[in-house]
Amino acid sequence: MEWMALLLFACAIVVLLAGYPVAFSLAGTALSFAVLGMLAGVFDESYLEALPNRLFGIMVNETLVAVPLFVFMGVMLERSRLAEDLLDTLSCLFGAVRGGLAMSVTLVGMLLAASTGIVGATVVTMGLLSLPTMLKRGYAPGIATGTICAAGTLGQIIPPSIILVLLGDVLSTAYQQAQLSQGNFSPETVSVGELFAGALLPGLLLVMLYLLWLIFLAIARPQSMPAHPAEDARTDLASRVLKALLPPLLLILAVLGSIIGGFATPTEAAAVGAVGAMLLAAARGQLDRACMREVVHRTARVTSMVFLILIGASVFSLVFRGYHGDELVRSFLSGLPGGVFGAMLVVMLLMFLLGFVLDFIEITFVVVPIVGPVLLAMGLDPIWLGVMIAINLQTSFLTPPFGFALFYLRGVAPASVKTGDIYRGVIPFVAIQVLAILILAVWPELATWLPEQVY
């Protein structure tokens, strides 16, 4: 009956593709299989008795409190028009450089990723603000759309990212399970702060590779990336750059610096970020009753979605284990040719393909708890594994024809921009993502060095 676990997984994917809500699809499919199994006498109902403890564990999990706080910070910064000021200022700063606007979009995407950590919001915001300007100033549609999509997905990997918070919590549990299965009854843990530190250098590496590609394009195809006219420059540019960059940089330093420096937990740092975002909005004259109502409502909707999916995924994982699916996955991955390399390759390919149809929350809550303990028991570093998963999902969200970032941008792009332009534009950035994964696979120290130094 172990194959019932695979049938359960396949049915859940089919129900999700049919368009039903994720949380109800996961829980409903799992409960249906559990009832059928109990009627057939092949499923032990005692597995479902662990569900109340699972739910209580979610309720008292202090790390997960960081999720609504980081969401609040991101929505508040988006509402305060931070991206608009940053883009306007940096485009003036790099105006005399050919391709400077594309570089500005990349840098603003990096700053927004470190400030908000919400991919969809970043892609939509950058698409609304920068795409019309880039097209108006003569940029090739493919280059403009590819740059915006790539910059928008940096929120997957550059901390404080929502996916890193969720992934850190799931990997911590998986790491403890892996150690217990090996007879270590005093297991070590991995914290969200360690994952933040591990993702910092790979995230900056991606930004550097993006910028190098744009510089190459500016040299090889100068007609597709024109410079700004000289009259666009502003006389008070230095003060405007300082005014636009200093507040978000201070906020990022306060959040990330307090976590990596060990002065605050991710939850405490998220609270600092939420208050800092409110202060930035107040300084810009955007913090009023309507703003607070909108931000609180959007935060409540996103947070409710995340935790409802987490509850549905908990039911799914219990039923999956009830059919001994974890043992089937362990035996399958352990028996693959190539050992750890073969198992890691198969898991990365599976997550890449699932990224076409599932959001990172579902993959984090459903797939990682199944394959994580097996991979970690093979001796993989949990920080390195978490960063590899994050970059892999970021690549999946960029890849045509099903990447989520492409759909986000298509929804706000003008009709003059063809879908084919978007697809062609992101292909070089997908290649850069694959290159970054290969670099990280060859030099895992990129992800493990900083956490070792700090922690």
Task: Provide φ and ψ at 198, rounded to 5°.
Answer: -70, -30
| Burial (Cβ within 10 Å: 0-12, 13-18, ≥19) of residue 407 | middle
Under DSSP, is residue 268 helix (H, G, I), strand (E, B) or coil? helix
221: its two tokens: 């195809």
H helices present in 323-377, as ranges: 325-334, 340-354, 360-362, 368-377
DSSP H or E run through 145:
helix 141-152
Confidence of residue 29 (pLDDT cuts 50, 70, 90): very high
Report residue 293 as tokens: 């109502």
pLDDT of 231 reads: 47
| Mean per-residue pLDDT over the chain, rounded | 85
Number of domains composing the chain: 1
pLDDT for the residue numbered 10: 87
What letter would DSSP give residue 46? G
Contacts of 391 (CB under 8 A, 6+ apart): 156, 157, 202, 206, 433, 436, 437, 440
What is the greatest pairwise CA distance in the chain? 79
Lowest mean per-residue pLDDT among 50-54, 170-174, 258-262, 374-378: 258-262
Q: What is the pLDDT of residues 300-318, one digit of tens each?
A: 988 888 888 888 888 888 8
- Chain-centre distance for alpha carbon 150: 12
Q: Token pair of 268, please?
A: 């405490």
Residue 206, both tokens? 């991606």
Distance, CA of 62 to chain centre = 20
Q: DSSP string of 207-249? A: HHHHHHHHHHHHHH-GGGSPPPPGGG--TTHHHHHHHHHHHHH
Q: For residue 242, give the amino acid letter.
A: L
Proportion of the chain above pLDDT 90, given as a percent = 19
From the list 81, 111, 126, 87, the residue with the least C-alpha distance to 291 is: 81
pTM of this prediction?
0.84
Confidence of residue 232 (pLDDT cuts 50, 70, 90): very low
Burial zone of 413 (CB within 10 Å; 0-12 exposed, 13-18 middle, 19+ buried): buried
pLDDT of res. 310: 85
Give dist(CA 77, CA 66) in Å, integer: 16
HSE-CB for 70 with a 13 A CA cutoff: 31
pLDDT score recorded for residue 229: 61
- Please state which of the ranges 48-62, 191-205, 430-444 shows the lowest mean pLDDT: 48-62
pLDDT at residue 230 is higher than 60: no
pLDDT above 50: residue 410: yes
Instruction: Give Cα 243 distance to the centre of its chain.
Output: 29
Report residue 249 as tokens: 């940089």
What is the pLDDT at residue 95?
Answer: 65
User: Do 196 and 447 contact (CB within 8 A), yes or no?
Assistant: no
Region 218-223: mean pLDDT is 87
Distance CA 140, CA 300 (A): 39
| pLDDT for residue 381 | 92
Domain that residue 341 falls in: 3-454
DSSP at 160? S
- pLDDT band of residue 116 (cuts 50, 70, 90) is low
CB 148 within 8 Å of CB 108:
no
Structure-token match 């994580």, residue found: 372
Q: Is the pLDDT of residue 82 over 80?
A: no
Specify burial of residue 136 (Cβ count, 10 A radius: 0-12, 13-18, 19+). Answer: exposed
pLDDT digits (tens, 9 = 90+) for 249-304: 888 888 888 888 778 888 888 898 899 889 988 988 888 888 899 999 988 988 88
